Structure 1
Amino acid sequence: MKKTIFKYLMWIFAAVISTAAAGIPAYAQTAGNIRGKVIDEQGGALPGASVKIKGTNKGVSTSTTGDFQLNDLKPGNYTVTVFYMGFSPLESNVELKAGQTLVHNIRLVSSSVALKGVTVSGVMEGQQKALNQQRNADNIKQVISADLMGRFPDLNVAESLQRLPGVTIGREQGEGSTVQLRGTPGGYTNININGEQIMGTQEQGQRNAQLDLVPANVLASMEVIKTLTPDLDGDAIAGVINLKTPTAISLKPQLSVDLGGGYNKLRDKSNGIGNISFGRRYGATDDLPNGRLGITVSGSYYKTINGYDEINAQAWQKKDFTGNKDSIYFPTDIRLVYLENERTRMGATTTIDYNFSPTTSIVANLTFNSLDNDATRYRKRTRMQTANTTLNNGVYTTSRGRGYNELLDRQMANSSVNVSLEGETLLGKAKLDGGLFYTKSQFNQQAYAYNYITGNVPMTISEISGDYIQATGATDPKNNAALYTYNTIEANNFNTEGTNFVARLNLTLPYKLGENDAYFKMGAKMKRMHNQRFRPVNSTFVANYAGTAAAGNLNNFKGDEEVSADFLDGHIPFGLGVSRQGTIDFYRNNPKLFNTSTNLTQVSIDSYFYDATEDIVAGYLMNRIQFNKFMLLGGLRVERTVVDYDAKIVNQDINGILTSSVPVNSKYNYTKFLPNLQGKYDLTKNTVMRGAVSFGYSRPNFNDLMPSRVVSILAETVTDGNPDLKPASATNYDLSIEQYLSNLGILSIGGFYKSINKFQYNSMVKLNGTEFPDASAYKGYQYFKSYNGDNAEVYGVELNAQTNLTFLPGILKGISLYANYTYTHSKADAQLRKDLRLPGQADHTANGSVSYTLKGFTLQGNLNYNGAYTSTLGANDETDVIRAARYQLDVNASYRITKGLTIYAEGVNLTNKPQVEYFGNRSRIFTNTFYDFSARAGLKYRY
């Protein structure tokens, strides 16, 4: 199979090179090119500028570094026109000689009409760069420049992205972590750096990378691409988030430094941040006036002590307590969680580019990001088995309750390394570009859970509705240390690793279709994605305490009498904690009092393992034609995937004893044909209409695909993989109208419709004992498995408005508004249920921001809203897990002391909104998590 793939790849590459060779006739010896850079008055690059040859349809947009290249021009005199919102249009005359590559740099002057009397702040500069790139793109996308990212108090990439239309985020440790687009699951969005995918390394095998790993400060810009063109990977139904690293743009050295410190309210601890970047170009010549060599280096460091308070009840069982068949759901396991975490994020990127000639260049990039979390978690559990619980006079009572008091000592290290080497050159009038890319992601956890447990104790619950339900009792099972004895120690250590190696080659051949400029593009790509998860054999174990009850009694290991009196924002106290050091030292000093369970250890290791390899070969053909004001782009992409997965099926008996651990392998392949058609029409100079019909697919998460089984006797859960899962396929329709305003703003409306076949979803049901062989041993357990649904439809509307109120009188000119709203609706058929809402789809998402700038001072308030959505499907509506709607209020302010020096302050989550999930009905709490607010202040220096 691999030989077949290799031959297929070589055939495509040969076709590309042959086409390039055919495109170099004698005419190529006389054709010339014009290239250069568009810059502002200070020498800064202007990305997204429209550069055209006057009187023709030939035109390009400048890159993120402000560079442009107009190829395949006959000798003669030309007028080059440049348009960039916020700057005065410019025309310049040039003379091109036969075979010449003319270097023509263009400096634009800020417009004095639209922004008269207004200081163009960093806020406006960010808008300006982003909107110009968006305006001149062929497809539908949003762009966030580095300046625009700095407008908000966002520390990582996920939090920056949440400000855009159609984006919802998941949170980890109080920060944005994962991203979903347009109401689809997170795995339907590819996360790229410099155009190639980062491998996800989340514990549950999700493909989408966690973006709290990447600091926003080391990037030049981010793109949210919502309609894919044929030259982009097709396995992204929702779209692509592309993170772009900076490249040196000026012969003058450019330096920026940020230093700040702050405070986290929840744990009453400090935080600190530092960012630095430097860039410069070297070796200017007559042919290369902007230098042959460019070097840029960026680094970011952030450290904080944060955490969260949480109450959760994630096991609800149905019972008829009254005997009249009025069955209700009862919470059998209620947990309080207090976590304190030291979080350290570091990021660094280095880019070196070299121009051999005006038409040949290479770019090398190395990017490293890491995120370390060192946490101490105190957790209390009260368990009341439904079968042994009765209801009398409104009070639920059991004589066989059980309490747990647990300590978790956990270190998590998440990192990614991305290396790329790209190059491009002209072969006559044909452009050849390609590159090699390698990314490696790792997520390692060392976690030791120490558990104290009671015997059977009486417990009662008087109220099972609401966000703060509690089990109590006359023996005070929550705080009575005499009830608890050292029970187990579990080393929950694991490693998850993902790599992606990519080789790609593209050929672009310009041509004329009558008087219309066009180009034909084709290319090929090979990539190998490898993802594996395992527990280290030498550091994974489950040990049971075998000493005397007196020696193991919690009275010997008592910690604080009250861990947190204002726990859960003061709603309930946490109560007694355990001594962290005393608990750990007792085990270290008395190892013979603990019996390591070889059986449970092997179950933990074998059930966790998987090793997945996917080899992908892709090729595409694409054609773009500019008909005066109308652009038409169409093409076909073909992707073939060869899959090879290894895992183990682990079986236990009713007592949790390992009965078998069988290695299994799954191999298969599939080919996707992905047609694509997109159009763009300039209704006026500042009004653009876009439309697209495209086809895409998304692969299932790795963990969902593995032929494995994980059984937890304690939690009464069974989790199965499903090697029969198929990729989801989608037909996408998009339409948008964008009105760009002269005051650096935009008004836009867009609609989208996706028909998704075989979408994947996570299911949680109660086992009846017939689902698989030996399932009778787990009757009544919660059963987790992912399946393919039949069909889902997702449609929605995106509204976006940005404007600077420069038409207002006097000091009111400094007001800027930013707002967007997305409505999404879906219908899905799955699990014998009809017209479901697609898991992950929120009906409403919105952002609002108001800023005011006056003489160097800027004040801004930001509101983010994420609507409710289904996170896990149950057997019916009342057993679905729903993530509740949430809004967050942030503020930031800055004052420019000198031209290069700015002081700033910012606050995040000022209203301390929790993240809530519920079980089918809002009265049945699933999780309720508080993070509280944080604040920072510091200095920024730009040179």
Structure 2
Amino acid sequence: MKYNYSFLKLTLLFFLVASSFLAHAQTIKGKVTDAETREPMVGTTVVLKETGKSQYVRLDGYFTFKNLKPGEYNLEFRFVSYKTRQVQVKVADAQITTLNVVMEPVTNQLNSVSVVDNGSSNDKRSRTIEKNSNQLVNVVSARNIELSPDITVANVMQRVSGVTIERSNSGEGRYPIIRGMDKRYINTLVNGIKISSPDNKSRFIPLDLFPAELLERLEVSKTLLPSMEGDAIGGTINLVMKDAPSKTLLQVNAAAGYNAIFAGRNFEQFDHSSISKAAPSEVNGNSYAAVPTDFPNRNLHFSNKTNPINTNFGFTFGDRFFKDKKLGFIISTSYQDNFTGNNSTYYLPAAQPNVNNVPNFTDLEARTYSTESRRIGVNNKFDYKFNNKNKISLVNVFVRLDDYQTRKISDTIALNSLIDALSRSKWQYQTIYNSSLQGIHQLSDGLKFDWSLDYSQANNHTPDQAEFSHEYQIVASTGSTDKLQSMSRIWSHNGDVDYSAYFNLTDNFKLLNRKFELKFGGMERNKTRTSYYNSYSLTPTVVGAVYTNIDNASFTFKNTGASLFSPDGNNYTFIENVGAGYAQGKWELTDKLEALGGLRIEYTKQNYDTQLSNSVPASSGIINYTDFLPSGVLNYKIKENEDIKLSYYKALARPAFAELIPDGQPGEVYKEQGNPLTLNHTTADNIDLRYELFPKNADEILIGAFYKKIHNPIEYALLNPNDPRLAQNTGGTSAILAPVNNASATNYGFEAVFTKYFGPFGVVANYTYTKSQTTTSKYYVYRSDAGIITVRSQDETTPLQGQSDHIGNLALIYKNQKLGVNVQGAFVYTGQRIAFVNPAYGLDYWQAPTEQLDFSIEKTVGKHFSIYGKANNLTNTPYVLELHQSYNNYLAAPGGRPLALQTDANKVITVQKDNFKTSYLFGMRYKF
């Protein structure tokens, strides 16, 4: 997107000149910060004693008193759990007096008992941010994160109202769902800057990459402003990393734990030291014909590990240097090595159901997963204050997650007497690196300019995913043998590289004798996404070869072509440029009513190129579109601590990268393929209404309602291989699973948040009701009047994928300052939701409701030490998938066989059940 830089310069000059006239003489202004964290002390009460006037410190940390007479003034600064400060200042004619006020936490002596802040001020600051924010936001403080049972950002997310999490097959939280809006409708920021995605197909960020202890706070915005990026229909997640402190800060954390699932079985591991990160074709060139010796089998050697121990370490150090403490820095690191397991029973569906869409299953699979997750996180920040008006910062964040997973499957083919045993080793490592150079400049009394230059890189690698199988009879008989079957080896990797620039100009003045804030700015991002995929399929050298062990197994290729790299649409380069500009105004209409509104314009240009033949339509392509995204907020202040906010905003969601590529990778049941010819991006109109009450300290009551009208939502449908919507017609009879646009969808509901402390006891509760619906064209198998089995299209109206009608959180808290004890029991309820949208009518896979109980405890020992414990999934809640069809009807249909797991024969068919058991962690912290 091209900007008119001459116009921009003239506009900037205009505001500079205008601000000089608007600046008032005899002005006292200043910034209030926390002595320990250097965070702005938002919400601090500032009283000008001579006039009796008072105001609250704004979100940027500043306060301003204007139109004062020359003379001496006394200011008082008050904030709960902080020392009250008195500052005297002289104001001369035509002078702007600037202050820098630092607030210190209070430590009182009462009857020889030391009473220190236990985190309530941390919570209070979170409430103040929520109260003063223009958008609807929920904030989780660092202290609450520390005291929670969670060690990753993904699991912390489930404590936020209206948020559920999608778990990986190891049982760990991975992706958030906000108010029933799937992960495709959410964006993720680090310190307010959008980061690259390592996901192999999509844009969303796996939040299990981020150790929770790196955060200063977690912000979840459920509405947008013109100044915010517009691709967040569901909401925005902002990970605010730890900031440079005002004085020396040292924190050390060490913990060890255990997962109870390994009390009943061993952890199965494999040798990953010999895995080649590059495929044979990458090492030797695309024309190279691979040979069986290119595939060593060491990563298919499995061994048992007894009672594996989880280990976690964390380290944070920060300080300030030089005269006036102008240079500050912090480095925070985290290392986690956790072992998780999953015992699963799964019924593999057939590619097509029986008549009347009665489900049909091909295999009963008993699966065991053993996953070792090594997580590394590093956050470091340097900031330099030239003076009270100019500051620059350099922030670097790096996270990496290595998953080493062994999967063992035993299945009965067509539910008969033959067993297929499959063994798979998978090493997946994902990284995100983000570097931001940022500046804040107070150009005049009311005029501020801030900017950011950013580099972000994300990578995902799955080198040499290896799987082999052998087949034997359930009951061995004379002459029966264990036969070697097939082997597959897959290399895949993808990467995102982003270069971004942001700028914002904010001017504060009076319009019709009322406060007015004018803000405008822009953003440009250049993204390059690359994807590589190469698979090799091998077969036994001798047909019907007897299997004894993997070392004695001999494989070859079915044909010469199978040994060659075959370029296809899964190997592509995707370039995306997004340019945005906005104008935003905030006007104090009355003493109680404030209005904010504006317009954001985002221009998207996409250019992709695949390794498909030019004869394939859309093998390469260019896509352009422009979105006008208005938004507005009315904030009516009933009292100082009570208000009502009404918000409207328009937002968008861009399709996933793989959804715009005319090819795809094979799935467990269907081949997947993108749809570049007809797939459009999604937009939505959003309305929110919320009542907010902040009685005192960390207490709060939030009650709100929301409504979303979604245009062109993307769902998946099963298409005929020759469907004109598919750029690459595969021929044959195998159906293709592809993304399509539904006409529209709606999503509405309400949520309530309640936080109340009764002395040392506290209750934190939230509840969200959500209802959504969308209509999708699916296929239905039936028998015609002529007795011929055929297929027709049939519309089905369902909730959006991932949407639960009911979500609830309840935490009971005990904080005893005298004993130095903090205890928390946290309960999470997630109602049923669609986990997988099936292209067949009536056969969506529903996740059954879950109830999970977690627990944490902390005890201080001396001045600097504390010990703690965490326990997750005390209820041993399984992950269960169901079909909303009668099991009895399935049994009565032709081919129906008795199935295990069934508990409600008249209502549902249970098709999957995963058990994860309880995990425990015990550790010690040191803080100085």
**Does TM, scored on the shorter chain, surpass 0.5?**
yes
Q: Does the CA contact (< 8 Å) of 2:804 and 2:833 recur in 1? A: yes
**Could you tell me how far 1:13 is from its partner in structure 2?**
3.9
Structure 1 residues 51 and 762, CA gap change in structure 2 (3 angstroms): farther
Which of these residues, 408, 413, 424, is aligned with residue 440 of structure 2? 424
Residue identity matched to 1:425 = H
Which of these residues, 807, 813, 820, is aligned with residue 851 of structure 1? 813
Q: What's the counterpart of residue 272 of structure 1?
A: 311
Separation (CA, whole Å) in 2 of partners of 1:771 and 1:643: 20
Q: What's the counterpart of residue 927 of structure 1?
A: 912
Q: Does the CA contact (< 8 Å) of 2:851 and 2:875 recur in 1? A: no
Q: What's the counterpart of residue 745 of structure 1?
A: 699
Q: Does the CA contact (< 8 Å) of 1:694 and 1:732 recur in 2? A: yes
Structure 1 residues 770 and 50, CA gap change in structure 2 (3 angstroms): same
Give the TM-score, by structure 1 length: 0.82
Q: Which moved more, 1:789-798 or 1:94-103?
A: 94-103
- Give the length in aligned residue pairs: 832
* 1:543-582 correspondence to structure 2 within 5 Å: 543-547=538-542, 549=544, 552-554=545-547, 556-557=548-549
Which of these residues, 235, 239, 244, is aligned with residue 243 of structure 1? 239
Which of these residues, 62, 65, 68, is aligned with residue 62 of structure 2? 68
Q: What's the counterpart of residue 408 of structure 1?
A: 424
Residue 485 of structure 2 is aligned to residue 451 of structure 1: no
Q: What's the counterpart of residue 561 of structure 1?
A: none
* 1:679-698 correspondence to structure 2 within 5 Å: 679-698=634-653
Residue 42 of structure 2 is aligned to residue 48 of structure 1: yes
Separation (CA, whole Å) in 1 of partners of 2:439 and 2:708: 36
Q: Which moved more, 1:29-38 or 1:623-632?
A: 29-38
Q: What's the counterpart of residue 487 of structure 2?
A: 489
CA-to-aligned-CA distance 1:780-826 (integer Å, 9 cap, x gap) = x45311111111111111111111112xxxxxxx2111111100011
Q: Does the CA contact (< 8 Å) of 1:351 and 1:364 recur in 2? A: yes
SS in 1 for 2:12: helix
Please list every run of 5 or more consecutive structure 2 residues that lacks an aligned counterpart in the other structure: 263-306, 778-793, 886-906
Residue 351 of structure 2 is aligned to residue 351 of structure 1: no
SS in 1 for 2:862: coil
Separation (CA, whole Å) in 2 of partners of 1:608 and 1:146: 41
Q: Does the CA contact (< 8 Å) of 2:487 and 2:539 recur in 1? A: yes
Q: What's the counterpart of residue 619 of structure 1?
A: 581
Q: What's the counterpart of residue 144 of structure 1?
A: 140
Separation (CA, whole Å) in 2 of partners of 1:518 and 1:135: 19
* 1:199-598 correspondence to structure 2 within 5 Å: 199-203=196-200, 205-250=201-246, 252-267=247-262, 268-285=307-324, 291-316=325-350, 328-384=358-414, 403-429=419-445, 430-454=447-471, 475=476, 483-535=481-533, 540-547=535-542, 549=544, 552-554=545-547, 556-557=548-549, 583=550, 585-586=551-552, 593-595=555-557
CA-to-aligned-CA distance 1:76-126 (integer Å, 9 cap, x gap) = 5666565645668877554345454522315367699xxxx9967645344
Separation (CA, whole Å) in 1 of partners of 2:723 and 2:631: 47
Q: What's the counterpart of residue 811 of structure 1?
A: none
Q: What's the counterpart of residue 865 of structure 1?
A: 829
Residue identity matched to 1:849 = A
Q: What's the counterpart of residue 868 of structure 2?
A: 904
Structure 1 residues 96 and 671, CA gap change in structure 2 (3 angstroms): farther
Separation (CA, whole Å) in 2 of partners of 1:133 and 1:694: 21
Structure 1 residues 606 and 773, CA gap change in structure 2 (3 angstroms): closer
SS in 2 for 1:932: coil
Residue identity matched to 1:356 = F
Which of these residues, 701, 706, 709, is aligned with residue 661 of structure 2? 706
Q: Which moved more, 1:67-76 or 1:360-369?
A: 67-76
Q: What's the counterpart of residue 748 of structure 2?
A: 795
Residue identity matched to 2:502 = R
**Could you tell me how far 1:214 is from its partner in structure 2?**
0.5
Q: Does the CA contact (< 8 Å) of 1:535 and 1:608 recur in 2? A: yes
Which of these residues, 189, 193, 199, is aligned with residue 192 of structure 1? 189
Q: Does the CA contact (< 8 Å) of 1:904 and 1:937 recur in 2? A: yes
Q: Does the CA contact (< 8 Å) of 1:761 and 1:872 recur in 2? A: no
Q: What's the counterpart of residue 837 of structure 1?
A: 799
Q: Does the CA contact (< 8 Å) of 1:408 and 1:447 recur in 2? A: no
Residue identity matched to 2:761 = I
Structure 1 residues 129 and 481, CA gap change in structure 2 (3 angstroms): farther
**Could you tell me how far 1:631 is from its partner in structure 2?**
2.2
Structure 1 residues 711 and 83, CA gap change in structure 2 (3 angstroms): same
Separation (CA, whole Å) in 2 of partners of 1:136 and 1:17: 28
Residue 169 of structure 2 is aligned to residue 176 of structure 1: no
Structure 1 residues 871 and 341, CA gap change in structure 2 (3 angstroms): closer
**Could you tell me how far 1:496 is from its partner in structure 2?**
1.6
SS in 1 for 2:160: coil
Structure 1 residues 765 and 932, CA gap change in structure 2 (3 angstroms): farther
Q: Does the CA contact (< 8 Å) of 2:163 and 2:177 recur in 1? A: yes
Separation (CA, whole Å) in 2 of partners of 1:217 and 1:895: 18
CA-to-aligned-CA distance 1:220-279 (integer Å, 9 cap, x gap) = 1111011111111011111110111121231x2111111111111113321011111111
Separation (CA, whole Å) in 2 of partners of 1:872 and 1:925: 14
SS in 1 for 2:633: strand
Structure 1 residues 175 and 454, CA gap change in structure 2 (3 angstroms): closer
Structure 1 residues 638 and 76, CA gap change in structure 2 (3 angstroms): farther
CA-to-aligned-CA distance 1:351-388 (integer Å, 9 cap, x gap) = 0000111101101001110100112221223221xxxx
Q: What's the counterpart of residue 389 of structure 1?
A: none
Residue 5 of structure 2 is aligned to residue 10 of structure 1: yes
Structure 1 residues 607 and 23, CA gap change in structure 2 (3 angstroms): same
SS in 1 for 2:619: strand
SS in 2 for 1:492: strand
Query: Could you tell me the percent identity over the aligned residues?
Result: 24
Q: What's the counterpart of residue 854 of structure 2?
A: 890
Residue identity matched to 2:218 = M
Q: What's the counterpart of residue 764 of structure 2?
A: 818
Q: Which moved more, 1:151-160 or 1:878-887?
A: 878-887
Residue identity matched to 2:440 = E
Q: Does the CA contact (< 8 Å) of 2:865 and 2:927 recur in 1? A: yes
Q: Does the CA contact (< 8 Å) of 1:443 and 1:497 recur in 2? A: yes
Separation (CA, whole Å) in 2 of partners of 1:199 and 1:535: 20
Separation (CA, whole Å) in 1 of partners of 2:841 and 2:525: 41
Structure 1 residues 503 and 938, CA gap change in structure 2 (3 angstroms): same
SS in 1 for 2:568: helix
Q: Which moved more, 1:510-519 or 1:748-757?
A: 510-519
Structure 1 residues 872 and 448, CA gap change in structure 2 (3 angstroms): closer
Residue identity matched to 2:607 = D
Give the TM-score, by structure 2 length: 0.83
Residue identity matched to 1:637 = R
**Could you tell me how far 1:916 is from its partner in structure 2?**
1.8
Q: Does the CA contact (< 8 Å) of 1:766 and 1:782 recur in 2? A: yes
Separation (CA, whole Å) in 1 of partners of 2:476 and 2:732: 32
What value does the CA root-mean-square deviation take over the aligned residues? 3.2
Residue identity matched to 1:177 = R
